[in-house]
A and B are shown apart, each in its own frame.
Chain A
């Protein structure tokens, strides 16, 4: 989650007073690093994945599964164990990696005090054989994490805890709700990481907003769900905090599951991938080209059908996080006329990207949002500092936000050898892509982070999606693909991705032709000013109507291609090659050994089957698991018993995977419909 500096965090009114200073210094730091790093060249392709876990306490004998709030103790145990020796819980295969001198995984705190994040000990390269190390490394991380927990604690990769915020006890230890920081009627303050940064973040978002955050998710209407549905867990009679009025003022509408704290969003686990580009130009290109893939990958990795003990009518976490950290004031939201605030802001600071940043000639003006909100003064400072218009616009957009957590100690003097103020704004803009300048010491390259994917239940799946994204970036750069569609269509797709079973039931805007026009070979006497450039300059910007460049496609078409997706009715007449065939074409053109190709093929097969509907998404599997439980009453309620069964099944799956025993037979061992999710993979 970025910065964890210690110090005196300012409460909101005081932090607000310093916002301008933080932005001004942040921009100076940005220009400093930009000037230092804009000429960086030929950085290798390195990449990293981040896996986030929920930590639960579970044992078959106990009636309930609970969230463990021992994050700090677990991290301390991990930190004190200098060689992170996996104490026998790992299968020999993992022990082997362990001894092979591979740097040990790194564990990080997260917002939720029940969460843990783990990253590989060093970034991955692009040797194809190395891609096969990702999955064992993820398993090793889980193993080491488990080894530093109590016997009844388990790291699991569900995006959300099914009964977070439900009435009664759901944490270990338990704390009363309605604390001073979150003022939530559903979760205690202790749900957040106690590091001062996190409660301050939550409290200041609430203060800036002028009320609690409102996270409302449509409830899934099952056969016996009362309708209209009124969230039975909402307490209208609390009078502890002024914010308790929120629900009396309509914060909890009918047919929505109502939540009121940052933990409901930032307590979600996801799978993020960061890529290092060879230089700033390639970084900007990757940022733009991966952007339209965000909603597609979100829908394809959907894994979030439960909130606060109820089945939701959506499949993914994204908008809930967005609402859970939405710090916009009523003026910024457009609910009141602008008086004190500077502008209306259409999106939360956690939202899909709002602009493109590449210098690519194929980036047409029509793709931009004409109403993008930017801070003109900041843009001017960046332009004056030598930055080009597009990149200046991007940062001037991020910098419309206030810093939320400001440490008094950092305001003494501007330190240009740091990037703390820049990062303060940058890393609290949680967009679905993040463009990351090198750190202040310029020791690593320009990076792009791909953030929309949901965490999957098994490391096999997480490795598959991570590796798929890595291969996609290589395909984009090799074939010089063009995924551009208007950025507002990407927004629309992001909404579409939320629908229940969007992966099969919905269509997404996607570009029809990914290939550029062929560059003419001899115009202007070969026109190459750079002697070693084998790539002729890109073709001039095309001028046909933008609307003709894209159409609605199913995820099956996008991932597998129209020829595969429409095998039954072969008359679509609008061929799209599909991302997996593109990846295969790439793999056909490089040297890959048979074993590696086979493993990569398995990952591609998983994704192919998820996209075609042959296998279910985790969201569908979880939903159907709940609905298939004896204790389920058809009323959308995920009771304690069902929650325990679900988590128990997930733990069982994880143990199987850890032991390297394969998933065969899980269906009949209480993990209902496992085959619908996983097919025969890793059995």
Chain B
């Protein structure tokens, strides 16, 4: 079994992938577009570096290139024009980083105290519930490393299978009550509380909880969420029971526009596959038999945002996503 860590790098000044498209409301386009463009950029950058081995920064890439990762052995480029995976990805501590990450660039421009750092962790339906504690730790560790900080301001947890469609306020709240899995959500929460107790996360929150689910959830937790993110097309129509409950319980209702099941198997295969939009990492016998083989299961996605508090400037925003490859 191989673990894959996909990353976008900082997307905030990276161009159009951050721009909301008309009709792209509540979609995972930001994630998929920015992953795709980061893969492409890494392939270009590291391939160029490999061409210029006298460039100091290219040493690692060049070394990798000359190593045994170059399975088809036909020089710098494979027949499809993509550089071999070994050039732009990296095997590190039991995981394959796609693309490779230069951790020396990690960090923020100012002292950590200047920032509000919000992290949103998406548990996915394709991952085992039992591993959520481990996943939360892994995901948070990557964010802390990427931003070079000791703690984050807010961790919001998104559970699979939940959505809060607010077109018809009462209806949305009612439907929400039947969504998700209360047992699993409650069972997961102690792991999140632990991160809070360890001081890694100053506040914890949840997403897409309607009034009934929220009331039930609150009865079962020790450390209460301070935030509930909801997704509403017309935010003037927040269901009144939810408004009331949130107010009573001191929970802030924040807006978000993410979709809950943010990375599906199909999307992931497309991102990494041999298609025109893919990164060419997965073997697809009919196109290119080289590459990773097996079943690919998305495990979690984490989004992080660092905002300079008293200036309202987003300095860093990006995603990590984790998948498990079950070799045939």
Contacts and interface: CB of A to CB of B under 8 A. Distances in A.
Interface string A523-555: 111111001111110000000000000000000
B57 A524 contact: yes
Interface in B59-111: 61, 102, 104-110
B45 A581 contact: no
B184 interface: no
Contacts of B148: 532
Contact of A582 (B19, B236, B314): B19
A515 interface: yes
A534 B109 contact: yes
B206 interface: no
B232 interface: yes
Interface in B226-257: 227, 230, 232, 235-236, 238, 252-257
A387 interface: no
Interface stretch (B9-17, B121-129, B217-225, B288-296): B9-17
Given A515-B15, A582-B19, A592 B254 contact: yes
Contacts of A278: 311
A577 interface: yes
A125 B315 CA distance: 18
A42 B313 contact: no
B10 A524 contact: no
Contacts of A587: 255
A520 interface: yes
Interface in B106-120: 106-110, 114, 116, 118
A46 to B, nearest CB: 9
Given A524-B56, A526-B57, A532-B107, A594 B253 contact: yes
B49 interface: yes
B96 to A, nearest CB: 18
A244 B313 CA distance: 56
A82 interface: no
A480 B10 CA distance: 12
Interface string A437-480: 00000000000000000000000000000000000001001111
A518 B22 contact: no
A521 B311 contact: no
Contact of A585 (B19, B110, B230, B235): B19
A526 B313 CA distance: 24
Contact of A521 (B45, B106, B256): B45
B263 interface: no
A563 B20 CA distance: 11
Given A592-B255, A593-B255, A594-B230, A584 B104 contact: no
Contacts of B22: 561, 563-564, 581
Interface string B20-32: 1110000000000
Q: Which of A126, A534, A561, A582 has the most CB of B within 10 A?
A: A534
A532 B313 CA distance: 17
Given A479-B18, A525-B56, A582-B19, A590 B46 contact: no
B6 to A, nearest CB: 16
Given A532-B107, A589-B305, A479 B13 contact: yes
A588 B45 contact: no
Contacts of B257: 588
Contacts of A597: 235, 255
A635 B315 CA distance: 57
A532 B317 CA distance: 16
Nearest to A517: B15
Q: Which of B15, B116, B238 has the most CB of A within 10 A?
A: B15
Contact of A591 (B55, B118, B315): B118
Contact of B107 (A480, A527, A534, A536): A534
Contacts of A427: none
A372 interface: no
B13 to A, nearest CB: 4
Contact of A590 (B37, B49, B312): B312
A662 interface: no
B107 A531 contact: yes
A207 interface: no
B102 A526 contact: yes
A590 B305 contact: yes
Contacts of A591: 116, 118, 154, 227, 254
B307 interface: yes
A529 B18 CA distance: 28
A601 B310 contact: no
A564 B252 CA distance: 32
B316 interface: yes
Q: Which of B9, B18, B21 has the most CB of A within 10 A?
A: B18
Contact of A589 (B46, B154, B254, B317): B317
B279 interface: no
Q: Which of B114, B257, B313, B316 has the most CB of A within 10 A?
A: B313
A536 B105 contact: yes
A213 B118 CA distance: 57
Contacts of A594: 230, 232, 235, 238, 253-255
Counting contact residues on chain B (CB < 8 A from A), the size range is: 35 or more
Interface string B292-328: 0000000000000101001111111100000000000
Contact of B313 (A477, A588, A593): A477
Interface in B189-214: none
B41 interface: yes
Interface string A474-518: 100111100000000000000000000000000000000001101
A581 B20 contact: yes
A349 to B, nearest CB: 33
A411 interface: no
A598 interface: yes
A601 B236 CA distance: 10
Contacts of A414: none
B155 interface: no
A589 B314 contact: yes
Interface string A591-626: 111110110010000000000000000000000000
Contacts of B42: 521
A238 interface: no
A44 interface: yes
A357 B148 CA distance: 34
B110 A532 contact: yes
A534 B15 contact: no
A598 B18 contact: no
A632 interface: no
B20 A588 contact: yes
A493 to B, nearest CB: 24
Contacts of B105: 521, 526, 528, 534, 536
B282 interface: no
Nearest to B42: A521
Q: Which of B18, B20, B236, B314 has the most CB of A within 10 A?
A: B20
Given A518-B41, A590-B305, A45 B19 contact: no
B109 A535 contact: yes
B167 to A, nearest CB: 15
Interface in A18-65: 42, 44-45
24 contacts: A278-B311, A474-B311, A474-B314, A479-B18, A520-B45, A521-B105, A522-B58, A523-B57, A524-B55, A525-B55, A526-B102, A532-B110, A533-B107, A534-B106, A534-B107, A534-B315, A561-B22, A577-B16, A585-B20, A586-B314, A589-B12, A591-B118, A594-B253, A597-B255
Given A515-B15, A532-B109, A593-B255, 18 more contacts: A478-B315, A480-B12, A515-B14, A518-B41, A520-B45, A521-B105, A522-B45, A523-B45, A523-B57, A524-B57, A533-B107, A563-B22, A581-B21, A589-B314, A591-B154, A591-B254, A594-B235, A595-B235
Interface of B: 9-10, 12-16, 18-22, 37, 41-42, 45-46, 48-49, 55-58, 61, 102, 104-110, 114, 116, 118, 148, 154, 227, 230, 232, 235-236, 238, 252-257, 305, 307, 310-317
List of 8 A-B pairs having minimum Cβ-Cβ separation, nearest first: A126-B312, A480-B13, A525-B56, A515-B15, A478-B314, A44-B310, A522-B57, A45-B311
